[in-house]
Structure 1
Amino acid sequence: MFDGLISFPLTPLLNDSAIDVLAFERLIQRQVQAKVSMIAVLGSTGSYAYLNREERAQVVKHAVAQAASVPVMGGIGAVRSRDVLRLSEDAQHAGAKAVLLAPVSYQKLQPDEVYGLFERVTRELSVPLCVYDNPGTTQFHFSDELLVALSALPHVASIKIPALTGTVEEASARVAALKARLPVGCSLGVSGDHAATLGLQAGCDGWYSVLGGLLPQLCKRLLVESQQPSDQATVLFAAMEPLWALFKQHGSVRVVAAVAELLGLAQSPCLPLPLHSLQGEERAKVAAWLASLPEGWAS
């Protein structure tokens, strides 16, 4: 379940007051219909850091109820280890088949503190865990040495790395070197939608996708074309460039929230304040991108 397309849906809110359960369930149903490999709720796109314990338990519960045979992974990141352990218990109790852990902090964490967090959580875990390497939000940069050390802990089943850079040859060398040091059965997935093609061509096992949580059919097509480049792939990748530019400029959650609102998949506003989706000229760019897509691509 840690290969292929792992989708990260939004957690839509109603006027910053409550989870929009109907909208959220519709997003989960889209993942089921697309047959994604796994649904990852309460990632950064799912606004986990802005939700309380009860809301997060509710999100996992509703996702599992709608996911049918598609496994659900729940984010359990929090500033304090005590809370991470409680969130882990909640996610497992709600039926999550895996958990996703990022080293969230206010004070900058040290590598030994991060290792200690993961060691404690995995000691009490009964489902697989994905190490969430997202320096853009946590401000913590994992070394390869720390990733390898964490991969040896019980229940660690996947490492999610940020977007790769450089040429395909350079990215492939990085991926091959890291995978050679991971235990058998521990997958290596890539995030950063704008650079997912590079990661997949470099040999990553899965794509941890923000856009996949909203437009899974389109992202499954991107995944296949990344692994088997063709003339159609060139057209497809070129069509995505305006969206990727907005991702890099504004952050993916603001962009996908605008897409969801424009498609009528979530009410506006759907993000927790003080966050808000793109507005004005930038929102118009999102609308123009949607209008430019061939029929059926945004379904």
Structure 2
Amino acid sequence: MFRGLSAFPLTPTTEYGIDEKTVHTLVSRLATAGVDSIGALGSTGGYAYLTRDQRARVTKIAVEAADGVPVIAGIGALRTSQVLALAEDAQNAGASAVLLAPMTYQPLTEDEVFGLYEDVTRELSVPLCVYDNPGTTHVHFTDELHGRIAQLPNVASIKIPGVSNDPAQAKARVDALRALIPETVTIGVSGDWTAADGLNAGCDAWHSVIGGLLPQTALAITRAAEAGDTARAITLSNQLEPLWALFRRHGSLRVVSAAAHHLGLIAEPNLPRPLHGLTAHARRDVIAALDSTGATA
């Protein structure tokens, strides 16, 4: 399950609730495209802005729309009790696995982060992916902490941030972590503009923002890396540099939101307040980037 392309779709949201019909459509098109798994309620899915009931509903819709493709549901929250409740909801909704980022307001110690995963994995009956995303959570995992957590029951994968674009450095990064975790625990990479480098360096999966919008494009990169065609994977990724540059400048969520609207996949508004969409100028840049890549819905 934690191999290949894990596509992370948006959760279209207004102040009045979730656009359930569009959630179903977005997930269904990913399943039809042949992605390996679907990451519902990741950072792109806006999990931190949704209520428990909304998240349970999104997971249920995603499982139904995925039609057998594994759904990995995000369960991150500030308090352990909330995480446990979300984990129960995800399992009841039929999620194949859960994704846990250690959200925080007060800075967490390493022992507190470990304790969170210890408490949650003790109650789980499905696999868990450790969601290492310091850009949003401000929690910085050491490899030693990953090694401790990876020994816990039901921990099946670790999602790491983007790696270096230097092949030797990227491989050294992946190998260093691999040496500290069980063979049964896979490594996934995020940071879309470095994903090809991560896959070529030995990561097992790509947790992909763009995969939730342009699954065929992301699949081509993933399959090239899986086949050992490292040069093609890099070439295909480099063709998306206009989008990657906008991801780095504005944040991937805002860019994908604007791109999905331009492609006719979602209505507006679709981001939870206080988040705003891109300015008119930035939207023109998104459209130009899509045109340059030949991307279509």
Q: What is the TM-score when the length of structure 1 is the normalising length?
A: 0.95
**1:79 maps onto 2:78 in alignment:** yes
Q: Do the aligned partners of 1:218 and 1:298 also contact (CA within 8 Å) in 2?
A: no
Superposition deviation, residue 107 in structure 1 = 0.5
What per-residue deviation string (whole Å, max 9, x for no partner) do you get for residues 200-224 of structure 1? 1111000000111111111001222
Q: Do the aligned partners of 1:25 and 1:62 also contact (CA within 8 Å) in 2?
A: yes
For structure 2, the 5+ residue unaligned runs are none
Moved over 4 A (4+): 232-235
**1:270 maps onto 2:270 in alignment:** yes
Tell me, what secondary structure is at the counterpart of 1:150? helix
Q: Do the aligned partners of 1:37 and 1:70 also contact (CA within 8 Å) in 2?
A: yes
The 1-side partners of 2:86 and 2:74 are apart by: 8
* Corresponding residue number in structure 2 for 1:218: 217
Quote the RMSD (CA, aligned, Å). Answer: 1.3
Counterparts in 2 of 1:1-80, with a 5 A limit? 1-13=1-13, 15-80=14-79
The 1-side partners of 2:282 and 2:30 are apart by: 27
The 2-side partners of 1:206 and 1:113 are apart by: 27
The 2-side partners of 1:102 and 1:233 are apart by: 28
Superposition deviation, residue 140 in structure 1 = 0.6
Counterparts in 2 of 1:126-275, with a 5 A limit? 126-226=125-225, 227-230=228-231, 236-275=236-275
The 1-side partners of 2:247 and 2:163 are apart by: 15
Q: Which amino acid aligns with 1:161?
A: I
Superposition deviation, residue 272 in structure 1 = 0.4
Q: Do the aligned partners of 1:16 and 1:270 also contact (CA within 8 Å) in 2?
A: no
What per-residue deviation string (whole Å, max 9, x for no partner) do you get for residues 140-183 of structure 1? 10000000100000000000000012511011011112112211
Tell me, what secondary structure is at the counterpart of 1:164? coil
Q: Does the C-alpha gap of structure 1 residues 121 and 234 become closer, same or farther in structure 2, counting only changes over 3 Å?
A: closer
Superposition deviation, residue 233 in structure 1 = 5.1
Q: Which amino acid aligns with 1:269?
A: P
Tell me, what secondary structure is at the counterpart of 2:239? helix
Tell me, what secondary structure is at the counterpart of 2:120? helix
Range with greater deviation from structure 2 (151-160 or 164-173)? 164-173
Q: Do the aligned partners of 2:129 and 2:158 also contact (CA within 8 Å) in 1?
A: yes
Q: Do the aligned partners of 2:7 and 2:37 also contact (CA within 8 Å) in 1?
A: yes
Residues matched between the structures, number: 295
Q: Which amino acid aligns with 1:91?
A: A
Q: What is the TM-score when the length of structure 2 is the normalising length?
A: 0.96
Q: Do the aligned partners of 2:243 and 2:290 also contact (CA within 8 Å) in 1?
A: no
For structure 1, the 5+ residue unaligned runs are none
Superposition deviation, residue 280 in structure 1 = 1.3
Counterparts in 2 of 1:92-107, with a 5 A limit? 92-107=91-106
Q: Which amino acid aligns with 1:120?
A: D
